[in-house]
């Protein structure tokens, strides 16, 4: 977790391994969301979770709750950050969601002991944890100076990408997101933008390493060619494989004909969520593509 004023203790229930998820996106927005906001939050959360990206939010009514629920519908995982203790679920009308998250392998955390009651002053503070757990933050709808814009502010200070969905200039829930875009947030129109952004940031060191290896391989091959030309030494060196190791196993299962992700998971005996996350990066970097939903093949 990367955040200022790091909590000294975290209380957690559920699958705590999600706190170390490779890819995470915070999705936040207005409690009084519009139908447009509901649709956007649901689409983004479900598609991101289907690709193995853990959805982080605050379990409030409105956009938060919609994002958690859509992540579960996408057969992915989600983490909720509360503004009070576990003995005082807030808002009470989301108690069903509290249990649904846990029943579906999610995680719920709080920096407050179970007996501490939530209050309005705690929610803006807990938003730093939502941001801290997220590789990127998406604001779907927000009024001016709302909790969602506070979360975006934390993310910006931490150097994380902030995405905002453009909205109607005549609605109050569009004021916050449109302003964020004016101030430099990335205008978001599809989940793939976020996948690509967090993939680049996560894999940047790996890409740099591969670039260095490619250059070294080029020099080696050039040197070999020069030796062959002079007749002094006959060497045939194979260029080392520079594809990331985590991709190779899946790449070998793929072929020029499409393969369903369930079959890939079965052959490799690895969870679908894990396979999905790697395939996402392979698509972004051009090693694979998806001719139809859940079917993949090599990108030759």
Pair 18, 139 in one domain: yes
* Per-residue pLDDT at 286: 79
Residue 28 lies in a domain: yes
Residue 7: the pLDDT is: 86
The strand pairing partners of 32, in sequence order, are: none
- Range with the poorest average pLDDT among 107-121, 127-141, 193-207, 265-279: 193-207
Q: Which of 154, 170, 189 is the last residue of a domain?
A: 189
Whether residue 147 lies inside any domain: the answer is: yes
Sign of CA dihedral 171, 71, 98, 89: negative
User: Is residue 209 in some structural domain?
Assistant: no
Among 172, 189, 206, identify where a domain stops: 189
Asked whether residue 171 is domain-assigned, the answer is yes
- Of 189, 218, 235, which closes a domain? 189
Does one domain contain both 80 and 159?
yes
Same domain assignment for residues 254 and 142: no
Residues 125 and 18 occupy one common structural domain: yes
| Residue 251: domain span | 243-300
The reported pTM is 0.69
Indicate if 250 and 181 belong to the same structural domain. no
The answer to whether residue 231 is domain-embedded is no
Q: Is the pLDDT of residue 31 over 50?
A: yes
The answer to which of 8-12, 262-266, 270-274 has the lowest mean pLDDT is: 270-274
Q: Which helix (H) or strand (E) holds 162?
A: strand 162-164
Using 50, 70 and 90 to split pLDDT, how confident is the model at 284?
confident
pLDDT at 280: 78
Q: Which of 63-67, 79-83, 169-173, 285-289 has the lowest mean pLDDT?
A: 285-289
Q: CATH number of the domain that 290 lies in?
A: 1.10.10.10
| Mean pLDDT score of the chain | 86
Query: Does residue 208 lie in a domain region?
Result: no
Mean pLDDT of the region 160-165: 97
pLDDT band for position 145 (cuts 50, 70, 90): confident
Contacting residues for 185 by C-beta, under 8 A, at least 6 apart: 139, 152, 162, 163, 164, 177
Cα 191 to Cα 37, 64, 163, distances in angstroms: 14, 17, 10
Q: Is the pLDDT of residue 207 over 50?
A: no
Q: How many domains does the chain have?
A: 2
Tokens standing for residue 70: 């859509």
Percent of the chain beyond pLDDT 90? 61
Let me know if residue 297 belongs to a domain. Answer: yes
| CATH number of the domain that residue 102 is part of | 3.40.50.450
Residues 32, 181: one domain? yes
């Amino acid at each position: 977790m990367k955040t200022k004023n790091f909590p000294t203790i975290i209380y957690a229930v559920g699958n705590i391994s999600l706190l170390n998820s490779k890819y995470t996106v915070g999705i936040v927005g207005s409690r009084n969301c519009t139908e447009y906001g509901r649709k956007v939050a649901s689409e983004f959360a479900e598609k991101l979770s289907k690709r193995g990206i853990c959805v982080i939010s605050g379990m409030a009514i409105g956009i938060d709750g919609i994002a958690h629920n859509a992540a579960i519908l996408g057969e992915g995982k989600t983490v909720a950050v509360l503004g009070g203790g576990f003995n005082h679920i807030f808002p009470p009308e989301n108690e069903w969601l509290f249990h649904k998250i846990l029943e579906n392998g999610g995680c719920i955390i709080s920096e407050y002991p179970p007996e501490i009651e939530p209050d309005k002053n705690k929610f803006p503070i807990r938003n730093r944890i939502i941001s801290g757990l997220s590789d990127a933050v998406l604001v779907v709808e927000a009024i001016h100076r709302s909790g969602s814009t506070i979360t975006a502010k934390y993310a910006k200070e931490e150097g994380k990408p902030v995405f905002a969905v453009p909205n109607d200039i005549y609605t109050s829930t569009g004021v916050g997101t449109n302003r964020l875009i004016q101030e430099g947030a990335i205008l978001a129109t599809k989940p793939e933008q976020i996948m690509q952004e967090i993939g680049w940031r996560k894999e940047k060191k790996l890409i740099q390493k591969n670039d260095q290896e490619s250059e070294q391989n080029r020099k080696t091959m050039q040197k070999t060619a020069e030796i062959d030309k002079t007749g002094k030494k006959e060497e045939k060196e194979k260029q080392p494989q520079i594809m990331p190791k985590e991709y190779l196993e899946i790449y070998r299962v793929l072929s020029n004909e499409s393969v369903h992700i369930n079959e890939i998971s079965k052959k490799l005996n690895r969870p679908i969520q894990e396979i999905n996350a790697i395939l996402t990066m392979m698509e972004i970097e051009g090693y694979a593509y998806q001719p139809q939903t859940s079917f993949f093949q090599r990108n030759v």
